[in-house]
Amino acid sequence: MSHQEVILMSDEAVEALIDEVRSHVSIMFKICEAVAMLDMIAAFAHLVTVNNYTQPQLTDTLAIEAGRHPIKEKIMKSKFVPNDVYATQQTRFQIITGCNMSGKSTYIRSVALMTIMAQIGCYVPANYASFPILHQLFARLGMDDNIETNVSTFAAEMKEIAFILRNVDRRSLVLIDELGRGTSTRDGLAIALAIAEALVSSRALVWFATHFKDLATIMSDRAGVQNLHLAVEMEDAHSMTMLYKTAQGVVQEIHYGLTLARVVPFPPGVVEHATLVAQQVERHMLRKKKASETVLKEKRRKLVLNLKEHLVQAHTGVLEGEVLTAWLKELQKEFVNRMTALEAESANAGQESKDEEMTDRSGLSEEERPSTSASRSVISIDSHTSSTDSDSTIRAMSEVSTLRAVSSNER
């Protein structure tokens, strides 16, 4: 009986304590939040003290100098290779190509981790960093089947991509790694290309790592797209060194897989035969490739939109006087040269189409042939380049503003 009485008395004491504490729950929640915030700030301070981190800035541009993966650099035995990142609306969709184990996944994941760290108030592992305010982060990473729910790799990634496309907007950051590899090469490339077009139209910041070199080639002239690759040093056909460093453009060496396969002890002749087949397929594809009016139109549009972005940056920047004049002249010269090169490419494509039409009765129709309006704009701009004073430069750039208006209408 005494034992039962002790238990009852204990229950009464606990109930009384709960009733007393219940009236102070709101205050206790505030105390817990304050302790948690203090713990987080102390952890941030300790992180900055023991690591070479920098304070990020909040701007409209995502720019990182010598950025590092915060987890990877701690567990690697060798020194982590840092990389630079730069993304604006004219480079919002970045296609990352490269061979296996070159660091594509680590690169795009480090961008996401540093973005999260910056937005929660933490310093980031970089020499300099600035980030825009982002509302959502989407990621499609990994290639795992889900046996329990009867979902294959391809079905799983399609479900996740569908969710991303339904919810993505301008204030989103998207990471996609090896999309379309769970089905046939042709279907995978087609699906990846369609999804890439949709993501470019969303105006979100996207990092798209892929082994589809054709995807990077096709999308390269689309406004807002930038091609990067992880560099590799090839000493000979049997050895290569991963540099883990990003470089501009599409990856050039397309037989990295064959080089890696030579490390595996295949029976004699297997890799050699695969190399021969790859070379034959490559030659066949090169013969079928030709420039199209659609590609040339996208190149012109991308060039004009890049010019617009530079002019807006000049308008809102700190350059003035002679420095601004010299910069505008250099910008004008570069635009004229690149537009002239595009017109020459268009003329060559037209001539090649005529030749093909004479041989196999196929080619561009007369109304599809490249127009010369862009070249007239180039001549109009070029007529001012001989002047040396700032007034002539301003007059020249006023004609460039016409192109800005055109690009604004296109957008």
pLDDT in tens, 31-53: 999 999 999 999 999 988 898 89
Q: pLDDT tens-digit profile of 138-183?
A: 999 875 555 555 567 788 888 899 999 999 999 999 999 988 777 7
- Per DSSP, the residues of 109-150 read HHHHHHHHHHHTT--BSSSEEEE---SEEEEE-----BTTTT
For residues 113 and 69, give the distance between their C-alpha atoms in angstroms, rounded to a whole number: 8
Provide the pLDDT for residue 378.
37
Taking CB atoms within 8 Å and a gap of at least 24, the contacts of 381-389 are: 381/332, 381/335, 381/336, 382/336, 384/332, 385/329, 385/332, 385/333, 385/336
The predicted pLDDT at position 289 comes to 52
Q: What is the pLDDT of residue 377?
A: 39
| Overall pTM surpassing 0.85 (yes/no) | no
Is the CB of residue 124 less than 8 Å from the CB of residue 191?
A: no
Q: At what angle do helices 25-50 and 2-22 cross, to 10 degrees?
A: 80
Q: What is the pLDDT of residues 351-407, one digit of tens each?
A: 665 665 565 554 444 444 444 443 333 334 343 333 334 444 444 444 444 444 444
Residues 310-335 have a mean pLDDT of: 86
The confidence score (pLDDT) of residue 180 equals 77
